[in-house]
Amino acid sequence: MFDGASLDIFLRELTQAYAAPGAHLEAEAFSFLDAAQEEQDNKGGAAYLAAKGFFDAMLRSAEGATAIPYDFKDEGAGGRLERVSVTLDKGEPAAP
């Protein structure tokens, strides 16, 4: 399961791997775990509190999130999952 940005990275690297079997693919430099740890470390700091205050003020008068209704077609009360398929061309690697 991927979000859009992660799918793009996965497909780019998969295409590169097919284009040059055995070539070294660079490991990620900053993982999701790193990002989560950095956020925890920065909570309570001056920059974090300033940003929080800014967004709290900007969103103070905003309405709540709009509820997205379930799609009940043929899948029962829980809605349905959507699928995306991608065809890979073993030709030129995708541009970064």
Instruction: Tell me the whole-structure pTM to 2 decimals.
Output: 0.42
- pLDDT tens-digit map of 1-57: 677 778 888 888 888 888 888 888 888 899 889 999 999 999 989 999 999 999 999
pLDDT value for 51: 93
Q: How far apart are CA 30 and CA 5, in angstroms?
A: 15
Q: Evaluate if residue 94 carries a pLDDT over 60.
A: no
Q: What is the DSSP letter of 96?
A: -
* Residue ranges of domains in the chain: 4-58
